[in-house]
Amino acid sequence: MPSSKKLVDEPKMPAHLERVPFDPYEVEDEYEISGRSIADAEFSGHSAYRTCFVRSTFTNVAMRGTSLRKAEFTDVVFERCDLSNAILQEASFYRVVFKDCKLIGLDMTDCTLRNVTFIDCNGEYGVFRMTDIKRVKLEGGSFAYSDFFNSNLTEFYLRNTKLEQAQFSQTKLAGVDLSSCEFDSLGATLQDLRGCIISPMQAAVFAGQFGMVVKR
């Protein structure tokens, strides 16, 4: 891919973000947070529906087990946050960055992702089933044992990401470059893998996975 091509759009942030103490109990159904810088906060276990987060940053925020169904995140940055086992089903993400975040068991079932970047995140056992993904980049980190079952991948970029036993069943990987990723097996059929880009070493891995023998 040409280096001049901008793969994923970055969040559009205002010149100044207001940093005020964050009270998790202020977040209720259909609540909006806009233009905020939230840091060193505890938001674990809380629940809200159709919340909206706009032009905001979250730094070192614990959101373990939080339920934010049908939430919308637009121009948002998460850095060093813990969203392990958070439930974000049917949420929408537009120009969002997750950097150095803990996303173990994060549930993004049936979400919409547009221009989203994951940098050095631990997304192992994450659930991304039936998710509509367009212009999304996974850079570094691990999404081993994650589940992308029956998802739509368009302009899906992977670089140096661990994908051991990630599930891509009923997800078309045509055009997806897996060559820099690390795995010994993937949950995918030959039909799912048709048209994807792999390294010679990975070709041997897939041959073994499908019962073929590579003669050396």
Q: What is the 3-state secondary structure (H, E, C) of the chain?
A: CCCCCCCCCCCCCCCCCECCCCCHHHCCCCCEEECEEEECCECCCCEEECCEEEEEEEECCECCCCEEECCEEEEEEEECCECCCCECCCCEEEEEEEECCECCCCECCCCEEEEEEEECCECCCCECCCCEEEEEEEECCECCCCECCCCEEEEEEEECCECCCCECCCCCCCCCECCCCECCCCECCHHHHCCCECCHHHHHHHHHHCCCCCCC
Q: Which domain holds residue 100?
A: 24-209
Is 13 within a domain?
no
Per-residue tens of pLDDT for the chain, all 216 residues: 444 468 899 999 988 898 888 888 889 999 999 999 999 999 999 999 999 999 999 999 999 999 999 999 999 999 999 999 999 999 999 999 999 999 999 999 999 999 999 999 999 999 999 999 999 999 999 999 999 999 999 999 999 999 999 999 999 999 999 999 999 889 999 899 999 999 988 887 777 677 666 666
Total-model pTM: 0.92
Is 93 within a domain?
yes
Instruction: Report the number of distinct structural domains present in the chain.
Output: 1
Is 4 within a domain?
no
Is 215 within a domain?
no
Is 104 within a domain?
yes
CATH number of the domain at 52, please: 2.160.20.80
